[in-house]
């Protein structure tokens, strides 16, 4: 198993009443409510949490980014990855990921990622995402070409990682006279690429066709099983067998010394969901052209309030469906066993705390996970044969059917 | 205006690899009417009123309503060229002499681009609340930030007119059509949003007599854009319609049809 620590890096230190009055906390909610003093403190607390996560035995640190919203104050995952590349020693740096369509220069991203890979001595896992709907607006990027830009930027980055320059790129959305970044990744054939997602079937199919692991972001167990059904079907059509090494899952999971405290802190996952779904603006989060035409009816109805948000289940339902797991190490392990037995992922991210969980409780949670939960999960993983891409020496992709290794280890 | 029923016919014309849907009615001097970014209505009274005096040609913009989406299309100028192509091939233009252009809102921008491409080709040009020029003080209302209903409502001075035309709560099928059309608008006019910075520099060559019409209460394209059109064009005058917003043809159909008819016939 590959066990990762994750936080959304919530910016809970803002006047909540202002957000409720405005009716949304994304995109147009004024950044005059951002407190840089609290921001400075929180960024440094999160860095300490990552350090502890490595110390207590996590295999990876999962990073992401979002824009113009307090639910996530990390605006550029490559910046935290750069810091962690130098300040950690062992953990994989799993970026889930860089929002490719937001980039006007994917070659620049390829360079940044190559630098992170070299500084970390080959610990980069480079995931790619489409970016949220409102992030297209925040970046001024055309939502109608989101998927085209995603696919073209990906192709350009992989080419710039694997094919010696200089070469010219004349694409539909990107044109580069000279592609010849001096920095190239340490890992060969190139760093592993994992693709996270939650809603779009197109992304699952795309990942499966590329033979990239897909990371399901906190979906309910039944929905997760449907994702793997589709992935495995496309894998079979593509000519390989799907299985645990292609399956990742991000689990909201808070542990504490007592059941009561864990449950109270786990309610803070609803803070984030209030931000993300409850207080997301339905028009900004689903700009025309961003979603596949097959969702058109659902999204126009959502945009005018005729349909509720599909992700808006309440706390008790999410506990029951195990989208949120909370308790002492002793009580969460059987629940996580159920998740592993039923959905068989080999990559498991722990989204451990959110909202107003105190710094002390967040650190306790990381320690308890590392000391008591992770060892049990490793045993279960062995018992169930859940070998991670690293353990299984899985190929990087269909195009590059070999495992990724640092160039000095290859030689 | 009489209440005779106007018979509309439609045809599909292949242009630049995509099927363009064109509705047609009436007899007399030819008018090409270019509509809004939200797409067209089936039988707007404004078009019926024009069809009583002119031969009226109303295309669905490429990628909007019933016209096929040309995946390659990237700009409003591309749309303008598609319509030049249409006019170049259409029997109407061969048999009836010079065409006049009537552009509503977004369609006004397309019409203005067409006029710059062929400065003497058109008989008359009518721009109603036209997009295409960047306002100096205000902003063009950005549908990327507004719900489908809020955006269209914003184009009405009188909300009861919206209720009468679309229903107070438009059906989901209307919203889906607005979403489809909005997606095409994003594909060709995302950035800069709803204007072309080079257009004002090119309008000076347009020799076509032009009527610029603006709803007094246009909250989608500020009236100052009308004034900028007036400055950029050599042969233009401005008419302001009281009690109308952006969708002048929906709120004041007879008044606008009268303005167009008088101007086009040169009376």
3-state helix, strand, coil in chain A (%, to 5): 50, 15, 35
- Encode pLDDT of A49-59 as tens digits: 999 999 999 99
Per-residue pLDDT reduced to its tens digit, A134-172: 999 999 999 999 999 999 999 999 999 999 999 999 999
Q: What is the mean pLDDT of residues A30-48?
A: 96
- Judge contact between A189 and A396, C-beta under 8 A: yes
Instruction: Point out the least confidently predicted range of A44-58, A253-267, A307-321, A322-336.
Output: A307-321
Q: Is A144 on the interface with B (CB under 8 A)?
A: yes
Give the pLDDT confidence score for residue B1 in this predicted structure.
47
- Is the N-terminal amide bond of B37 cis, ω within 30° of 0? no
Among the partner-chain residues A142, A282, A296, the one whose CB lies closest to the CB of B176 is A296
Q: Is A137 in Cβ contact with B183 (below 8 Å)?
A: no
Tokens standing for residue A300: 């126009």
Please check whether residue A28 touches B, CB under 8 A. yes
Considering only CB atoms, A287 lies closest to which of B144, B149, B172, namely B144
- Answer yes or no: is pLDDT of B231 > 90: yes
B242: left (phi over 0), alpha (psi -120 to 50) or beta: beta
Q: What is the pLDDT of residues B12-54, one digit of tens each?
A: 999 999 999 999 999 999 999 999 999 987 678 999 999 999 9
Sign of CA dihedral B154, B160, B162, B163: positive
**Measured between CB atoms, does B146 come within 8 Å of chain A?**
yes
Query: Residue A173: which CATH number?
Result: 3.20.20.30
* pLDDT of A410: 64
Q: What is the pLDDT of residues B150-192, one digit of tens each?
A: 999 999 999 999 999 999 999 999 999 999 999 999 999 999 9
Using the beta-carbon criterion (under 8 Å), do A283 and B146 form an inter-chain contact?
yes
Over residues A334-367, the pLDDT tens digits come to 999 999 999 999 999 999 999 999 999 999 999 9
Per-residue 3-state assignment (H helix, E strand, C coil) for chain A: CEEEEECCCCCCCCCHHHHHHHCCCCCCCCHHHCCHHHHHHHHHHHHHHHHHHHHCCCCEEEECCCCCCCCCCCCCHHHHHHHHHHHCCCCEEEEEEEEHHHCCCHHHHHHHHHHHHHHCCCCEEEEEECCCHHHHHHHCCCHHHHHHHHHHHHHHHHHHHHCCCCEEEECCCCEEEEECCCCCCCEECCCECCEEECCCHHHHHHHHHHCCCEEEECCCHHHHHHHHHHHHHHHHHHCCCCCHHHEEEEEEEEECCCHHHHHHHHCHHHHHHHHHHHCCCCCCCCCCCCCCHHHHHHHHHHHCCCCCCCCCCCHHHHHHCCCEEEECHHHHHHHHHHHHHHHCCCEEEEECCCCCCCHHHHHHHHHHHHHHHHHHHHHHHHHHCCCCCCCCCCCCCCCCCCCCEEHHHHC
Output the pLDDT for position A304: 85
Which residues from chain A sit within 8 angstroms of residue B144, using beta carbons?
137, 287
B95 confidence band (pLDDT: 50, 70, 90): confident
Among chain B residues, the shortest Cα distance to A301 is held by B172
- Structural domain harbouring A258: 2-410
- Asked if residue A306 has pLDDT above 90, the reply is no
Q: What is the CA radius of gyration of chain B?
A: 17
Distance from CA of A375 to the nearest CA of B (A): 48
Domain count, chain A: 1
Q: pLDDT class for A295, splitting at 50, 70, 90?
A: confident
CB proximity list for B80: less than 8 A, separation 6 or greater: B110, B111, B113, B114, B117
CA distance A214 to chain B (A): 28
Residues of chain B found within 8 Å of residue A104, distances taken between Cβ atoms? none
Domains of chain B: 9-264 (3.40.50.1820)
By the CB < 8 Å criterion, does B214 face chain A?
no
pLDDT confidence of A411, banded at 50, 70, 90? low
Task: For residue B144, give the chain A residue with the closest CA.
Answer: A287
Asked if A284 and B186 come within 8 Å (Cβ–Cβ), the reply is no
pLDDT of res. A29: 92
Q: Give the pair of three-digit tokens for residue B173.
A: 């099928």
Q: Average per-residue pLDDT in chain A?
A: 94
Are A173 and A102 contacting, i.e. CB atoms less than 8 angstroms apart? no
Nearest to A288 among B172, B183, B191 (CB): B183
Question: What confidence score (pLDDT) does residue A272 get?
Answer: 78
Give the residue-averaged pLDDT of A211-232: 96
pLDDT tens readout for residues A77-115: 999 999 999 999 999 999 999 999 999 999 999 999 999
The two three-digit tokens of residue A305, written as one number: 């309030």
Mean pLDDT of B240-253: 98
What does DSSP assign to residue A253? E
ipTM computed for the complex: 0.94
The verdict on a CB contact (< 8 Å) between B144 and A137 is: yes
Give the chain B residue nearest A305 (alpha carbons).
Answer: B147
Query: What percentage of chain B has pLDDT greater than the value 90?
Result: 92
CB contact under 8 A, A300 and B172: yes
**Is residue B2's pLDDT more than 70?**
no
Q: Is B182 on the interface with A (CB under 8 A)?
A: yes
Say if the Cβ atoms of B191 and A299 lie within 8 Å: no
Percent of chain A at pLDDT exceeding 70 = 98
Q: Pick from B179, B184, B187: which is nearest to A296 by CB? A: B179
Task: Report pLDDT digits (tens) over B46-75.
Answer: 999 999 999 999 999 999 999 999 999 999
Give residue-wise pLDDT tens across range A6-34. Answer: 999 998 888 888 988 998 888 999 999 99
Residues with Cβ < 8 Å from A149, sequence gap 6 or more? A100, A101, A141, A142, A173, A174
Residue A62 clears pLDDT 60, i.e. is over it: yes
Check pLDDT > 70 for residue A270.
yes
Between chains, do A142 and B176 touch, taking CB under 8 Å as contact?
no
Which residues 265-294 of chain A have a CB within 8 Å of chain B? 282-284, 287-289
Q: Would you call B175 an interface residue with chain A, using a CB distance cutoff of 8 Å?
A: yes
Please tell me if residue A175 touches chain B, with a CB cutoff of 8 Å. Answer: no
A145, A287, A304: residue with CB nearest B175: A304
pLDDT-derived band of residue B267, with 50, 70 and 90 as boundaries?
A: low
Q: What is the mean pLDDT of residues A381-408?
A: 97
Q: What are phi and psi of B186, to 5 degrees?
A: -60, -40
pLDDT averaged over every residue in chain B: 95
Check A301 against B172: CB less than 8 A apart: yes
């Amino acid at each position: 198993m590959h066990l990762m620590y994750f936080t959304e890096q919530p910016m809970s230190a803002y006047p909540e009443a202002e957000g409720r009055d405005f009716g949304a906390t994304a995109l147009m909610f004024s950044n005059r409510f951002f407190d840089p003093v609290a921001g400075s403190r929180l960024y440094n607390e999160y860095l300490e949490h990552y350090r502890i996560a490595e110390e207590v035995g996590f295999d990876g640190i999962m990073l992401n980014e979002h824009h113009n919203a307090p639910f996530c104050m990390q605006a550029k995952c490559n910046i935290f990855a750069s810091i962690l590349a130098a300040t950690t020693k062992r953990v994989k740096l799993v970026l889930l990921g860089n929002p490719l369509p937001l980039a006007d220069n994917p070659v620049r991203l390829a360079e940044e990622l190559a630098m992170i890979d070299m500084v970390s001595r080959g610990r980069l896992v480079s995931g790619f995402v489409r970016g949220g709907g409102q992030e297209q607006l925040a970046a001024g990027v055309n939502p109608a070409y989101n998927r085209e830009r995603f696919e073209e930027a990906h192709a350009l980055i992989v080419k710039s990682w694997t094919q010696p320059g200089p070469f010219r790129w004349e694409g539909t959305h990107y044109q580069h006279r000279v592609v010849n970044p001096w920095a190239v990744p340490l890992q060969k054939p190139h760093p592993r690429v994992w693709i996270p997602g939650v809603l779009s079937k197109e992304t699952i199919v795309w990942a499966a066709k590329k033979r990239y692991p897909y990371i399901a972001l906190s979906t309910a167990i039944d929905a997760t099983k449907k994702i793997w059904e589709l992935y495995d079907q496309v894998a079979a059509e593509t000519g390989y067998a799907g299985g645990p090494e292609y399956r990742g899952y991000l689990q909201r999971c808070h542990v504490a010394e007592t059941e009561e405290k864990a449950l109270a802190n786990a309610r803070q996952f609803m803070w984030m969901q209030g931000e993300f779904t409850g207080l997301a603006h339905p028009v900004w989060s689903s700009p025309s052209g961003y979603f596949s035409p097959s969702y058109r009816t659902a999204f126009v109805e959502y945009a005018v309030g005729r349909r509720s948000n599909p992700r808006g289940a309440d706390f008790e339902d999410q506990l029951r469906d195990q989208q949120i797991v909370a308790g002492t190490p002793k009580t969460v392990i059987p629940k996580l066993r159920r998740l592993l037995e039923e959905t068989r992922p080999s990559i498991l991210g722990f989204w451990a705390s959110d909202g107003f969980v105190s710094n002390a409780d967040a650190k306790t949670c990381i320690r308890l996970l590392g000391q008591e939960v992770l060892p049990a999960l490793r045993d279960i993983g062995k018992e169930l044969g859940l070998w991670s891409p690293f353990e299984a020496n899985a190929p990087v992709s269909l195009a590059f059917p070999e495992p990724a290794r640092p160039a000095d280890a290859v030689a | 205006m009489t209440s005779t029923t106007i018979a509309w016919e439609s045809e599909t014309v292949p242009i630049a690899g995509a099927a363009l849907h064109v509705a047609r009615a009436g007899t007399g001097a030819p008018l090409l009417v270019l509509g809004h970014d939200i797409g067209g209505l089936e039988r707007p009274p404004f078009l019926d009123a024009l069809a009583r005096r002119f031969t009226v040609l109303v295309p669905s913009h490429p990628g909007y309503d019933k016209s096929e989406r040309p995946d390659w299309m990237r700009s409003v100028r591309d749309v303008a060229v598609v319509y030049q192509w249409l006019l170049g091939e259409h029997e109407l233009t061969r048999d009836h002499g010079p065409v006049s252009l009537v552009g509503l809102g977004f369609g006004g921008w397309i019409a203005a681009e067409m006029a710059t491409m062929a400065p003497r080709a058109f008989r008359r040009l009518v721009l109603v609340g036209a997009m295409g020029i960047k306002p100096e003080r205000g902003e063009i209302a950005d549908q990327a930030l507004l719900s489908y209903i809020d955006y269209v409502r914003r184009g009405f001075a009188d909300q009861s007119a919206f209720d009468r035309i679309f229903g107070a709560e438009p059906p989901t099928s209307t919203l889906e059509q607005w979403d489809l059309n909005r997606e095409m608008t994003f594909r060709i006019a995302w950035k800069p949003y709803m204007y072309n910075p080079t257009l004002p520099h090119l309008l000076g060559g347009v020799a076509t007599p032009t009527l610029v019409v603006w709803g007094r209460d246009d909250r989608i394209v500020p009236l100052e854009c009308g004034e900028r059109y007036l400055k950029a064009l050599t042969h233009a005058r401005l008419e302001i319609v009281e009690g109308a917003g952006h969708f002048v043809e929906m709120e004041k159909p007879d008044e606008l049809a009268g303005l167009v008819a008088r101007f086009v016939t040169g009376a």
